[in-house]
């Protein structure tokens, strides 16, 4: 009499589990790379929004409850940038600025901006002391994902690549 057993052998089960583990590993590696790229993109989007906000404040004559209409700008350091009020960044005046830290691992890898700051002129919103050769900001992560933001003399973002 022949017995008919139903089910999988140990070898078949181990092979299937190995295939599932390999596919899960490959999928995880691909998702980590996509997350890092998304982190750089998100940091660029926040930076662009902050640049536009500072320009808008300058153009609208925002006084921040003061009496004088001022310029507004953004000062760049390696791992952070500072939103500030005034014709120049003054680190000793914390009441006139707000520091924004970049996501973990993301840095400004190339700051091709005059004096590491972008200042918007009150009224017009144009970039003060604009230089066509110093108009880009590059953000990158440790694995080489990077994005470059180009700013024109009017303070508009002309390109992100």
What pLDDT, on a 0 to 100 scale, did the predictor assign at position 143? 85
Q: Predicted confidence band at 120 (pLDDT cuts at 50, 70, 90)? A: very high
What pLDDT, on a 0 to 100 scale, did the predictor assign at position 33? 66
Could you tell me the pTM of the whole model? 0.76
List the one residue out of 90, 47, 43 whose CA is nearest residue 71: 90
Mean pLDDT of 97-110: 91
Which residues are CB-contacts of 48 (< 8 A; sequence separation ≥ 6)? 149, 157, 160
Q: Which sequence spans correspond to the domains of the chain?
A: 10-160
Q: Predicted confidence band at 2 (pLDDT cuts at 50, 70, 90)? A: low
Three-class DSSP category at 57 = helix
- Tell me how far apart the alpha carbons of residues 50 and 155 are, in angstroms, rounded to a whole number: 12
- Tell me how far apart the alpha carbons of residues 131 and 93 are, in angstroms, rounded to a whole number: 27
- Is 130:105 a contact under the CB 8 Å cutoff? no
Mean pLDDT of 85-90: 86
Which residues are CB-contacts of 137 (< 8 A; sequence separation ≥ 6)? 47, 76, 108, 110, 111, 112, 113, 148, 149, 151
**Is pLDDT larger for residue 25 or for residue 76?**
76
What pLDDT, on a 0 to 100 scale, did the predictor assign at position 25? 85
Quickly name the fold that domain 10-160 has.
Answer: minor pseudopilin epsh fold (3.55.40)
């Amino acid at each position: 009499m022949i017995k008919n057993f139903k089910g999988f052998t140990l070898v078949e089960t181990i092979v299937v589990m190995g295939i599932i583990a390999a596919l899960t590993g490959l999928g995880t590696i691909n998702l980590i790379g996509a997350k890092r790229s998304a982190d750089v993109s998100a940091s660029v989007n926040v930076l662009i929004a902050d640049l536009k906000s500072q320009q808008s404040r300058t153009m609208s004559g925002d006084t921040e409850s003061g009496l004088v209409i001022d310029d507004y700008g953004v000062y760049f350091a390696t791992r952070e940038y500072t939103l500030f009020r005034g014709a120049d960044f003054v680190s000793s005046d914390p009441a006139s600025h707000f520091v924004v830290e970049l996501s973990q691992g993301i840095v400004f890898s190339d700051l091709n901006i005059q004096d590491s700051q972008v200042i918007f002129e009150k009224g017009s919103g144009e970039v003060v002391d604009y230089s066509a050769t110093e108009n880009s900001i590059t953000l990158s992560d440790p694995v080489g994902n990077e994005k470059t933001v180009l700013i024109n003399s009017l303070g508009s973002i002309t390109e992100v690549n």
